[in-house]
Structure 1
Amino acid sequence: MATAVHTAVAPPPPHAPPARATFRHVPQLHAQLLKSGELTASPASFHSLLDATALATPAASPAHLSYALRLFRLGPRPPLSARSYNILMRAFLRAGQPEDALHLFVEMLDTASACPDQHTVACSLKACSRMRALDLGRGIQAYAVKRGLTVDQFVLSSLIHMYASCGDVAAAQLLFDAVENKSVVMWNAIISGYFRNGDWNDVVDVFKHMLEVGEAFDQITLVSVVTACGRIGDAKLGEWIGRYAEENGMMGNRNLVTALVDMYAKCGELAKARRLFDGLQLKDVVAWSAMISGYTQADQCQEALALFSRMQATELEPNDVTMVSVLSACAVLGALETGKWVHSYVRRKHLPLTVVLGTALVDFYAKCGCIDSAVEVFKSMSIKNSWTWTALIKGMASNGRGREALELFSCMREAKCEPTDVTFIGVLLACSHNGLVEEGRWHFNSMTQDYGIQPKVEHYGCMVDLLGRAGLIDEAYQFVRTMPIEPNTVVWRTLLSSCTVYKNVEIGEEALKQIISLDPSHSGDYVLLSNIYASVGQWKDAAMIRKEMKDGGIDRSPGCSLIELDGTIFEFFAEDSDHPQLSEIYEKVEEIIDKIKMVGYVPNTADARLDIDESKKEVSVSHHSEKLAIAFGLMKLQPGATIRLSKNLRVCTDCHSATKLISKVYSREIVVRDRNRYHHFKDGYCSCNDYW
């Protein structure tokens, strides 16, 4: 649009400043034009000076705009024309002040000497798009129709873009469909409209139609389409665009390459994403955020944090999008100190606590077992949505504060915030962990009756857990049998866990039989049934299960525990042999075992590996990954500091018993997040009440 304005006028005289001159030359040139008299005599000279002032390179500052506005208002100058207004309107749009651009349009309507042209209308519609001012946009369209300006391609494109940006995509599509000869600008306008509204499938569909009918597209088109491909996981089209961009020399477009990085990362093609990312000479915050987000979404959270560490070594400042991805990675790894640094950075830089960022902080603190900090962030948020409430409700339920979770759910309802299906998972977990059977049943029925939410397999699993924890094993079994949807391994495994606690052999056998038919390779399920047999004295059956595992090549998955110290994640495996301080750690473990034996600890060798001699099983269980991580924490953390770790498997019975006693003997709070839930060990007790 700007190019069309300037090619329509004669070149400026020799003393006029070139368009886009840097602002430091403007006052001197202004003085020369005043002295020569050309400023008032030559409209071209005035417009060139105004252009150089209002649209200075680099982007005009408030001082530049103020200078341009004084020149525009006070003169001396020739009579104002549409071009004068258009230059200043574009400057206001460029400066992010669309309201001021619209004020100039209204002023022109009352000015006899300056009549709005097609460029004025296009600028005004662009301002309406920025403000999402649909009614104003419709009024400007009426004016354009009256003046016969809607035949102009820029006006039509701006109208399409305005309607789409304001949410009326149907009107945008009607206008678009009515145009016979569509320019690439117009195609981009409709694509941009769908893009702004998050209609990713429509973006892709429009582009596919362009390909079918042979319409031309440009790099702007591709940036939007490849971003949409990432959102819907259309790797095939995304890769086609990637190849097209390489073959047609478009890889110098940083926006397009960044969009490709984002697309590959979101589609799980992390190697391709990283190759493009590493090849970028100038990486902006969007590129860093896309790559970090890709690692986080692919559960490669240590890589995400390592890349974030590299980003910190640059001069770039992360934005809220970066922070959300980093917090998600910290939540998965239990990287409390790194996440705290992120929170501190948000406060230090006065980043707005948006709903997304605030919810990520609540979720992070909850998943690190810091519920009080999660509550603090929750209370500080001015705007909350259902996901914010849900994050805290689930966090409280999983951390053994079920009563508070249910109270929070009541507050959510009072706040007229509609719960989601995920909210009810948190509510049912809260009922389960507090033994509130009747209340759990009521909430389960309320999902459908009061909110029209059909229960998913996860909700049925929560009900099985609720009944099982309460000792209602037969009822839990009948509940599974009468489920209207097929129970998965998680549901049967939940029932099997209940049978382990309440020593129900018959239903435990049936549960394992169903699990094996769905997933025969999960070692933990065999171990649970073996433990049931052992608990009732059926030693031969217990041995038979262990033999079946050994004969079937079903080995227990290696335990892995993560602990964070000074912002660094340390990883331990069961019977680890690859840590630089291994001898000191094993010495610490021996010290721990000796001390807790003095207060009643008896090793449970049933939790040892199957492929070792009986005489070595006690040593084997003492070298489980969480014991190594706890020993490392006791060695490195300040006295009295809470030890926090994450484990990839369910905490075994031996480690659970040992950790309770460690918390008492060493006067430490120990927070362990395993595959199932959170365990807060303190003074010899666990928040799970020995049911997990």
Structure 2
Amino acid sequence: MANLAAQLAAVLQACIKRSGGPKPSRAHAKTAHARVLAAGLAADTFLLNRLVELYSLSGLPCHALRAFRALPHPNVYSYNAAISAACRAGDLAAARDLLVRMPERNAVSWNTVISAVARSDSPGDALAMYEGMLQEGLAPTHFTLASVLSACGAMAALDVGRRCHGLAVKVGLDGNQFVENALLGMYTKCGSVADAVRLFDGMASPNEVSFTAMMGGLAQSGAVDSALRLFARMSRIGVRVDPVAVSSVLGACAQARTDEYSIVRAIRLGQSIHALVVRKGFGLDLHVGNSLMDMYAKCMEVGEAMKVFESMPSVSIVSWNILITGYGQVGLYAKAMEVLDLMQESGFEPNEVTYSNMLASCIKARDVPSARVMFDKISKPSVTTWNTLLSGYCQEELHQDTIELFRRMQHQNVQPDRTTLAVILSSCSRLGILELGKQVHSASVRLLLHNDMFVANGLVDMYSKCGQVGVAQIIFSKMTERDVVCWNSMISGLAIHSLNEEAFDFFKQMRENGMFPTESSYASMINSCARLSSIPQGRQIHAQVLKDGYEQNVYVGSALIDMYAKCGNMDDARLFFDYMSAKNIVAWNEMIHGYAQNGLGEKAVELFEYMLTTKEQPDSVTFIAVLTGCSHAGLVDEAIAFFNSMESNYGITPLVEHYTCLIDALGRAGCFVEVEAVIDKMPCKDDPIIWEVLLAACVVHHNAELGEYAAKHLFRLDPKNPSPYVLLSNIYASLGRHGDASAVRALMSSRGVVKGRGYSWIDHKDGARAFMVADDLGTNVGELTMFSDDVDTSGITEVHRDETCAS
């Protein structure tokens, strides 16, 4: 029997040695087990231990555990073999149960379970088990520390990692290369690069693993230059350069183009590494090939990435994804789609990364419908993917779609992050949806994101644009950190709601707080000056614009032209317009409209005709401006010609505003037959402005019949508007039909319609002061043309009248 047991032990040992080779060792294990049972040696602990080990190494962990459970008297070796089998099977609960039931635990037992748990999704459990091991008085080995340090890195548990480092020094394992490399990995993953550098510099013989870990940590922290120098040092001192080290340094090159290196230098460095790859024969390594592709793609050399792709002996889904992302980054959206089709033809099924990358490419190409198609193919989009599509909708001004997508995101229980909230707040701001904005505010408080500067900026913008300026100011005042975007949101909100003096105060505070105004800041302030018709303040802002170098910015320039035009200073507006080196359509429109609004219709037409000789193409706003100019200058033939050219020459469908301008031009000239022809064919007959314009023309030309027709439409569309009652009454009075005039006034009174009073204001040295008709300033200054002797007029810089209620 002893000889037979020895023979079986030899057979089992031979099978164990072969377990790393071909799979037939599984059959050998089962055959050997059968012979043990046939020989009546099922209770032989030594043989059963070898069987447990053989089953485990042969990929049959369930058989190993069954063999263990059959042991009548398991020993420490039995438990260790069973624990190893459970870990190999991924049954960590069984492994931990075996460890608890083990009569005498040793370092090997603990190390096996701690290592398996550390590699799982529960690194915190591995640290807890490590504490249990220490409490039993067992000293950690280099294997223990390596596993525990890996768990510390996964959890960014720097304090625990430092304690492990201290213990390694205490037990004399700090010089063990295995432990040193694990410490390097822990420090770099925890973001403590300074500790990693000190450790690396103190290593007696760093190997390729040490250099690779250190390079990766330096690159991730942004010290790309140091990472690349470390690779040069590695090669110089003769440390073996392996594919992993090459992939790490290629990652540093890819990252270099966003740091202190220019793209050109990053490419040059990458090409040097590429040459090394060819010389070392690493080109067959899939990971190295993918790293090369990634480096070229991120350096915008997607053509070189394609060459690497075509030279690779085998590719993976990662390779295809890198290529698709590369084409998307350089804006070659069609090429990215072509690669996606080729990928599927080659037998590779796109995964969620593929669709996410294509989604980003579609958004960059501003093809939101295709982006939505890609999004819908992702089974469980991450919050980043949701944000990408939400941002795309928002950027394309599809704010209602943005909100609908956000609601769908909520229904799928995807928790929003700071980017999500900021995008939705932007859409609420643009649409003026205060209630949803308040809900998002509540969600930000619940998620503890309301103090995040990105979210707080969105809240300030949303509340200010929705008319809740006071709430916006409260949020603004509570912000611990503010950037220029936040200041701009506050200034813009104040300016939009005509709180112009408050806007100027905030602009002043912004500068006093060390913030440099941007184009948005200046555009808002210039618009405030335009609303106030304040040339002195406008000139001050203009001077600051020149000082800060924004005079050639087309947005600021357009605002300045608009400001000078609204203040009636067309000479300065034209001077600045001519000074602009680059003009967009907005600048042209503001200049043409400025001429039109200031009664210089001929100049408006002249400038429009000059614009047509340039590369700038008119849009619908341009035609509103030039038709307004024609109307004010009595250029009826030109107005008709321009109107007719809109659709035929430029493909612009006339809007209600264009019909209004044409009717105004015809009405002012008394061409009422042509007016009736235009009204008959225009599609928009329920717009009150058209009928107001027609009624005003009828007043000038005493056309009672057409005036009555226009007034009836206005009584139906806008019964509380006093203008049609007053204008129709004026027509009757001018024709001597005083009875009809009285009847209209009586109708107005019976309907509770009250004519608004006109008002004027002055720029005084103590600030702007406004006056309604019949207000008293020493004397009646309703017209602001007469002042009593005791009224100080020395500080008055300008006098303005609001003509909106002149009728």
Q: For CA contacts below 8 A with separation 6 or more, give which structure has more relative contact order.
A: 1
Change (3 A) 1:139 1:622: same
1:487 aligns to 2:555 (yes or no): no
Separation (CA, whole Å) in 2 of partners of 1:690 and 1:183: 79
1:164 aligns to 2:209 (yes or no): no
Gaps of 5+ in 1: 1-6, 561-573, 576-601, 628-653, 668-682
1:59 to 111, 114, 122: 122
Residues 105-131 of structure 1 show CA distances to partners (whole Å, capped at 9, x for unaligned) of: 344234314544346435534533543
The corresponding residue for 2:511 is 413
1:505 aligns to 2:605 (yes or no): no
The number of aligned residues is 582
Q: CA deviation at 1:28?
A: 2.6
Separation (CA, whole Å) in 2 of partners of 1:195 and 1:173: 11
Change (3 A) 1:65 1:418: farther
Separation (CA, whole Å) in 2 of partners of 1:556 and 1:332: 26
Separation (CA, whole Å) in 1 of partners of 2:589 and 2:153: 60
1:149 aligns to 2:206 (yes or no): yes
Change (3 A) 1:408 1:258: same
1:112 aligns to 2:172 (yes or no): yes
Q: CA deviation at 1:326?
A: 2.6
Q: How does 1:547-586 map to 2 (within 5 A)?
A: 547-549=644-646, 552=649, 556-558=653-655
The corresponding residue for 2:469 is 371
Change (3 A) 1:551 1:142: closer
Determine if contact 2:634/2:665 at 8 Å carries over to the other structure.
Answer: no
TM-score by length of 1: 0.71
Determine if contact 2:538/2:563 at 8 Å carries over to the other structure.
Answer: yes
Gaps of 5+ in 2: 1-19, 21-52, 58-79, 236-240, 267-294, 668-673, 692-713, 724-750, 755-771, 773-800
Q: CA deviation at 1:142?
A: 0.7
Determine if contact 1:464/1:480 at 8 Å carries over to the other structure.
Answer: yes
2:111 to 31, 39, 47: 47
The corresponding residue for 1:458 is 555
1:279 to 358, 365, 377: 377
Residues 198-232 of structure 1 show CA distances to partners (whole Å, capped at 9, x for unaligned) of: 56966535575565565798666776776676555
Separation (CA, whole Å) in 1 of partners of 2:155 and 2:689: 57
The corresponding residue for 2:135 is 74
Helix, strand or coil for the counterpart of 1:147?
coil
Separation (CA, whole Å) in 2 of partners of 1:283 and 1:309: 15
1:191 aligns to 2:251 (yes or no): yes
* Identity over aligned pairs, percent: 17
2:151 to 72, 79, 91: 91
Q: How does 1:324-339 map to 2 (within 5 A)?
A: 324-339=422-437
Separation (CA, whole Å) in 2 of partners of 1:74 and 1:273: 56
Letter of the 1:527 counterpart: I
The corresponding residue for 2:199 is 140
Letter of the 1:446 counterpart: Q
The corresponding residue for 1:320 is 418
The corresponding residue for 1:526 is 623
The corresponding residue for 2:229 is 174
Q: CA deviation at 1:18?
A: 1.0
Letter of the 2:131 counterpart: R
Letter of the 1:59 counterpart: S
Determine if contact 2:463/2:472 at 8 Å carries over to the other structure.
Answer: yes
The corresponding residue for 1:586 is none
Residues 332-377 of structure 1 show CA distances to partners (whole Å, capped at 9, x for unaligned) of: 4444433332222212232353222222333334444443343333
The corresponding residue for 2:82 is 14
1:360 aligns to 2:421 (yes or no): no
Determine if contact 1:165/1:193 at 8 Å carries over to the other structure.
Answer: no
Helix, strand or coil for the counterpart of 2:416?
coil
Determine if contact 2:522/2:556 at 8 Å carries over to the other structure.
Answer: yes
Residues 263-322 of structure 1 show CA distances to partners (whole Å, capped at 9, x for unaligned) of: 332333434433332222232322222222223233333333332222222122222222
Rg bigger for which structure? 2
Change (3 A) 1:429 1:140: farther
Q: CA deviation at 1:86?
A: 1.7
Separation (CA, whole Å) in 1 of partners of 2:409 and 2:689: 31
Separation (CA, whole Å) in 2 of partners of 1:229 and 1:662: 61
Determine if contact 1:365/1:373 at 8 Å carries over to the other structure.
Answer: yes
Separation (CA, whole Å) in 2 of partners of 1:271 and 1:550: 28
2:442 to 334, 337, 344: 344
Q: CA deviation at 1:31?
A: 1.9
Determine if contact 1:108/1:116 at 8 Å carries over to the other structure.
Answer: no
Q: CA deviation at 1:460?
A: 1.6
Determine if contact 1:82/1:120 at 8 Å carries over to the other structure.
Answer: no
Question: Which segment is superposed worse, 258-267 or 235-244?
Answer: 235-244
Separation (CA, whole Å) in 2 of partners of 1:305 and 1:607: 43
Question: Which segment is superposed worse, 165-174 or 24-33?
Answer: 24-33
TM-score by length of 2: 0.62
Letter of the 2:453 counterpart: V
Separation (CA, whole Å) in 2 of partners of 1:75 and 1:68: 11
The corresponding residue for 1:671 is none
Q: CA deviation at 1:623?
A: 4.0
Separation (CA, whole Å) in 1 of partners of 2:690 and 2:464: 21
Q: CA deviation at 1:53?
A: 4.6
Q: CA deviation at 1:471?
A: 0.6
Change (3 A) 1:48 1:608: farther
Determine if contact 1:435/1:470 at 8 Å carries over to the other structure.
Answer: yes
Determine if contact 1:53/1:67 at 8 Å carries over to the other structure.
Answer: no
Q: CA deviation at 1:459?
A: 1.8
Letter of the 1:472 counterpart: N
Helix, strand or coil for the counterpart of 1:400?
coil
Separation (CA, whole Å) in 2 of partners of 1:357 and 1:666: 45
Separation (CA, whole Å) in 1 of partners of 2:448 and 2:354: 30
Determine if contact 1:521/1:554 at 8 Å carries over to the other structure.
Answer: no
Separation (CA, whole Å) in 2 of partners of 1:389 and 1:97: 38
Q: CA deviation at 1:149?
A: 1.8
Question: Which segment is superposed worse, 394-403 or 250-259?
Answer: 250-259
Separation (CA, whole Å) in 2 of partners of 1:193 and 1:119: 28
Q: CA deviation at 1:161?
A: 2.1
Helix, strand or coil for the counterpart of 1:68?
helix
Determine if contact 1:492/1:514 at 8 Å carries over to the other structure.
Answer: no
Separation (CA, whole Å) in 1 of partners of 2:156 and 2:538: 52
The corresponding residue for 2:788 is none
Change (3 A) 1:604 1:347: farther
Letter of the 1:18 counterpart: C
Determine if contact 1:54/1:91 at 8 Å carries over to the other structure.
Answer: yes
Separation (CA, whole Å) in 2 of partners of 1:502 and 1:536: 10
Residues 499-525 of structure 1 show CA distances to partners (whole Å, capped at 9, x for unaligned) of: 233212232223322443455552443
Q: CA deviation at 1:492?
A: 2.0
1:29 aligns to 2:98 (yes or no): yes
Residues 394-440 of structure 1 show CA distances to partners (whole Å, capped at 9, x for unaligned) of: 33333323322222122222222333333333333333333343433
Residues 37-69 of structure 1 show CA distances to partners (whole Å, capped at 9, x for unaligned) of: 2x22xx3322112234545x44355xx356324
Change (3 A) 1:279 1:542: closer
Separation (CA, whole Å) in 2 of partners of 1:524 and 1:342: 35
The corresponding residue for 1:310 is 408
